[in-house]
Amino acid sequence: RTFTEAVIPDHDGAYLEYKVTVTTRKSSESLLKFAEIELPGDVLAKVTTYEAEDQTVAGGVIGSLYGVSYVNMGGAYTYVEFPNVDGGSGGDCVLSVNYSNGGSGDGPLEVSVNGNVVGTFAGLPTNSAADWNNEVLETTCAPGINSIRITNISGSGQNVNKLVVYKPSSPPPSPGPAPTAKPTEQLPTLKPTSPPTTAEPTLL
């Protein structure tokens, strides 16, 4: 079987997207060797990627580096807004922001969902602008379309490449109540008929 969308938390708490092909035959040439694999149901998720350069940008500049397009967040309060994030039926969702920070200090990024601040990423240095890192935040999405904004609150020029949204798969619907059997129809009980009475002979 092939799982095209599976989210597996690693030991650092990050969420990774896996494309895993599972076979029953080992191959010495294969980089991934699985004889059998069991994935618990709670790691399966709907995974949607939103590229930053395709979104609403205020104060930033769209750039490209080694074939990767991104938004240079520029100065303080520059933001990139993702206005059409699918929240599905609502509830828990995990946001992963792919960014780079070529500076020597942290570059915090504030995250808001539908106008409400839900957290701040540290934006740690990534050695260079060409080295990308993921910051992960667990939050709640509303049903349907959500607007997610990432704002530079430090003034340093981080680059934002994309937002990846993970929505846990919906559990299978619980079975409804068993149908109630209709009572069998009772036929009316017939009273036994009395035998006809015999008239007494009249004495003359």
pLDDT tens by residue, 150-183: 999 987 778 999 999 998 765 444 555 555 555 5
Q: What pLDDT score does 13 carry? A: 40
CA 134 to chain centre: 17
- Give yes or no for a contact between 106 and 124, defined as CB atoms under 8 angstroms apart: yes
Phi first, then psi, for residue 54 (nearest 5°) are: -95, 5
Helix/strand/coil (H, E, C) string of 54-90? HCEEECCEEEEECCEEEEECCCCCCEEEEEEEECCCC
Q: What pLDDT score does 80 carry? A: 95
- Give yes or no for a contact between 52 and 160, defined as CB atoms under 8 angstroms apart: yes
List the Cα angle 43/48/49 in 5-degree steps: 125
Amino acid at 32: L
Tell me whether strands 61-65 and 56-58 are parallel, antiparallel or unpaired. unpaired
Q: What pLDDT score does 74 carry? A: 81
Positions in the chain whose pLDDT score sits under 50: 1-43, 171-173
**CA nearest to 78, candidates 97, 102, 98, 62:** 62
pTM: 0.64
